[in-house]
């Protein structure tokens, strides 16, 4: 297929582009940055680059023109920043998505794979292992916007037969993830640990999250593109919960020395536990994580220790 990655020049997009190219797809990257991935990945020469503004309907229409596969990776906010300016969160992400849906409707014949957030759309968990039918009560504007986009995707399917698949992704980590923004506890902790800097832990370190290597996320996205089943929303995670203290213990094993820990007040938007049930992904996509957690840590550490781009991801 001809595929476009909206917001594809950053962390997740670069891994997805690699996987799509390996599968024989043609890849176009639409982003606001200049041509090139975060760490100068060699595959940048094998993709078509299109610079534009997600809020410009004409730019978005040009981005999806001629594409059968549309991967929506755009997000201009993070959970911790979205509550500070919800109006901007909605304007940047929801309104831009409506431009995208209109462009896809007019073109016809394309499928959207949307990177939603399994870590935020559910809110306070009612079960240790969260399935797709768990109630959705997000406590961040980021999660509300993701859920709103999911609802608009379904609206356009009902009204206009627009095909889509939503992947509610847990907490991805890996090479090319930004450190400067504080995005991703695993990568941020590894960055500080290998430079001998203290690591800040929110609260007592008991917050449990589901961490997943980004290469496995990319594989799930490619499978979602080819998926023709009836399920529209699918969890993508490791299915294993680790608290921050366990995460730091694993990091100490990988780097071979203890790290300095500094406790700071807990964050109000952090739910105590978030672990995704991935039974549906196994059954419908034939997908399961292929990268052991420790191996993902080692790969990320090698990149963090040597990359000059850790604070300047263009996405």
CA atoms within 13 A on the CB side of 35: 10
* Measured CA distances, 271 to 138, 144, 184, 275, 313 (Å): 10, 15, 16, 11, 27
In a domain, 254, yes or no: no
The domain tally of the chain equals 1
pLDDT at position 33 over 90: no
CATH number at residue 6: 3.40.50.720
In a domain, 61, yes or no: yes
Active-site choice (122, 142, 156, 213)? 142
In a domain, 7, yes or no: yes
In a domain, 88, yes or no: yes
In a domain, 297, yes or no: no
pLDDT at residue number 312: 39
Instruction: Tell me the pTM.
Output: 0.93
Find out whether 14 and 38 touch, Cβ atoms under 8 Å.
yes
Closest CA to 167 of 128, 218, 208, 209: 218
pLDDT at position 222 over 90: yes
Model pLDDT for residues 38-94, shown as the tens digit of each residue: 555 556 678 899 999 999 999 999 999 999 999 999 988 878 778 889 999 999 999
3-state class of 65 per DSSP? coil
Is 142 known to be catalytic?
yes
> Which structural domain range is residue 48 located in?
2-174+211-238
In a domain, 122, yes or no: yes
């Amino acid at each position: 297929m001809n595929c476009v990655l909206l917001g594809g020049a950053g962390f997740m997009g670069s891994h997805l582009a690699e996987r799509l190219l390996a599968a024989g797809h043609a890849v176009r990257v639409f982003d606001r940055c200049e041509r090139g991935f975060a760490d100068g990945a060699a595959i940048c020469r094998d993709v078509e680059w299109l610079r534009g503004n997600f809020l410009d309907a004409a730019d978005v229409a040009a981005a999806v023109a001629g594409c059968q596969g549309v991967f929506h990776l755009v997000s201009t906010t993070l959970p911790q920043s979205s509550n500070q300016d919800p109006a901007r969160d909605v304007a940047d992400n929801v309104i831009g998505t409506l431009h995208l849906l209109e462009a896809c409707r007019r073109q016809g014949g394309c499928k959207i794979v949307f990177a939603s957030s399994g870590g935020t759309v559910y809110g306070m968990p009612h079960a240790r292992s969260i399935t797709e039918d768990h109630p959705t009560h997000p406590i961040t504007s980021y999660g509300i916007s993701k859920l709103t986009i999911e609802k608009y995707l379904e609206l356009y399917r009902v009204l206009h037969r627009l095909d889509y698949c939503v992947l509610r992704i847990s907490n991805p980590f890996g090479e090319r993830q930004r450190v400067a923004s504080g995005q991703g506890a695993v990568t941020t902790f590894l960055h500080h640990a290998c430079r001998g800097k203290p690591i800040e832990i929110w609260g007592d370190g008991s917050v449990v999250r589901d961490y997943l290597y980004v290469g496995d996320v990319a594989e799930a996205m490619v499978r979602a593109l080819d998926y023709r089943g009836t399920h529209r929303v699918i969890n993508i995670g490791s299915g294993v919960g680790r608290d921050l203290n366990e995460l730091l213990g694993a990091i100490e094993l990988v780097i071979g020395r203890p790290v300095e820990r500094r406790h700071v007040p807990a964050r109000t938007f952090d739910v105590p536990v978030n672990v995704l049930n991935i039974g549906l992904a196994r059954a419908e996509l034939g997908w399961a994580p292929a990268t052991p957690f420790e191996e993902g840590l080692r790969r990320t550490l090698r990149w963090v220790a040597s990359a000059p781009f850790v604070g300047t991801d263009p996405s």
